[in-house]
Amino acid sequence: MTRIIIPLLLAFICFANSIEGYKILCVFPFEGKSHFIFTSSLCKVLAKRGHQIDMISHYPSTKPIANYTDIIDLTGTRDAVVNNWSVDLVKSFTKRPMYTVTTRFGTEVCKIMGEERMQKFFKNPPKEPYDLLITEYFSMPCYLALGPYLNTQIIVAETFIDSCHLNEIIGNSQNYPSYSALFEPETTVNTFFNRLNNFWSTYLTIQQFYYYTSFQTEIVRKHLDQNLPDIRELEKKVSLIFMNGHFSLTGVKPIIPGIVELGGLHIESDEAKLTPPYLFLAYTQELKDWLDSAVHGVVYFTLGSMVNIETMPHKTLLSLYASFEKIAPIKVLMKSGNVTKLPPGLPSNVVVMSWIPQLPLLKHQNIRVFITHGGVMGVQEAVYCGVPLIGIPLFGDQEKNLRLMESKNIAIVMELEKITEESMNAALDAILHNPKYKESAKRVSKLFRDRPMSAGDTAVYWVEYVIRNGPISLRSKLGDMPWWQLYSVDILAFLIACFVLSIYFVYIFLKFLWTMLQRRIVQREKKLK
């Protein structure tokens, strides 16, 4: 009898859990692979907890995942970016960063809404309604329109460590006096001119974002519904924002409950290892053996999933070759999208691969230095693993990410145009032989990991909280205030006016007393005469 009852009880428990699961639509139309690593990790951890995930993205899962369905594969709707960008291309983004972000990676991505496969979904959504929409904000507020279109709540996932325009929509403080603007590399704001520059940069960034993304309203109404509100009104419908940051890396700043930090979520959920069958690449066992044999240590060098090292100036690459050769017997592992385009003369202690499983690699005990462009995902992985950095920022938030690590004595930051054999020699010598870098990396790694709840548990809790409680507002009223109320300009103007009037009335009163005194004196003098 017991043999029958126990399986039935287990089946009932599983069935009950499946009933409690919510139906969630995840929409991530931006083609950046590193962005999707974070956003997909969020949705996969929800699937593991029994929630039904419908995914729309450029990266369908290569293996079945319970409760996780790729309902639309966006492959081919945008140019491939993995191993497809040059250094010169990404450096050009820095000339007009907000324009590039909001048009090339914003409005152009919104146009995917007009694709046949998307239109088919919009016109025939599932009969069972969604409990929640999760989408990446980045520079595509157009996809927030799916919330009211499908009559569901919205949670936004943001892969940057901070976005000033997101503070605006949720009503969070901009932290002008203490935290630098999105594209400003400074990590501290401690002088009057720093604060003045930071105030102007933040204000300008927000206004540029508003202006360039305002055109997305037309796209939304064209491809979804003419009656949908404009982009700025859609932003007010966001219930919660997940930020890919953590105060141990970005610094302490005030945030409201409507913003939840999930930095490191993708690290917790990454199950990749350096040996098969976890990775499909045949050379992973060979890579592990090579790492295990590197008893003197390994330097790992990559410019991320999109930018190819071989597109760096050949003079710079030859300088790196010479510097890498000098640190032998320490080995160097380098990622290159097209090895044949590297200049000849690669040192014998350098191994080049076109794809490398980064997180399990950084976890290896023989990795001593990570040379990186400073993407937020790679920086978090290095900190988690306690690996010091040499940073070569290229565009976007990369310099800021690296400067934050530099301020914590975890990194040395170098400008691409100024890299020479001598400068790389000095950087490698410092990181490899000055113990402060490794010690600082271990200390910050401990802080980054030390949390009351894991990032995954935190994400699940807040998603379920939003769905359970309906449209309860975690959004501050500050987000609805006009600017003169938000910054207390009217209060300051009133107080200044009161002060000026007080001074004026005191002046009038004293003048009156002086006049009366003068009259008394004159009258007394007349009497004396």
pLDDT in tens, 133-145: 999 999 999 999 9
For residue 196, pLDDT over 90 is answered with: no
For residue 373, pLDDT over 50 is answered with: yes
Contact 404, 250 (CB under 8 A): yes
Residue 120 CB neighbours (<10 A):
10
Helices (H), 346-479: 358-362, 376-385, 398-407, 421-433, 435-449, 455-469
Q: Alpha-carbon torsion 214, 219, 220, 221, what sign?
A: positive
pLDDT band at 280 (very low <50, low <70, confident <90, very high): very low
370's CB contacts (< 8 A; 6+ apart) are 299, 300, 362, 378, 382, 387, 388, 389, 390
Q: Alpha-carbon torsion 383, 387, 391, 393, what sign?
A: negative
The first and second tokens of residue 210, run together, are 């508003």
- Angle CA(172)–CA(177)–CA(179) in degrees, nearest 5? 65
Of 441 and 185, which is predicted with more confidence? 441
3-state SS assignment for residue 311:
helix
Cα 410 from Cα 443, distance rounded (Å): 10
- What is the share, in percent, of the chain residues with pLDDT greater than 70? 93
3-state SS assignment for residue 435:
helix
- In this structure, of 39-43, 103-107, 277-281, 479-483, the range with the lowest mean pLDDT score is 277-281
Residue 146 CB neighbours (<10 A):
24
Residue 422 CB neighbours (<10 A):
11
What pLDDT, on a 0 to 100 scale, did the predictor assign at position 85?
82
What pLDDT, on a 0 to 100 scale, did the predictor assign at position 56?
97
Beta strands 259-261; 238-243: pairing state: parallel
pLDDT band at 205 (very low <50, low <70, confident <90, very high): confident
pLDDT band at 96 (very low <50, low <70, confident <90, very high): confident
The pTM assigned to this predicted structure is 0.86
For residue 111, pLDDT over 50 is answered with: yes
Contact 364, 422 (CB under 8 A): no
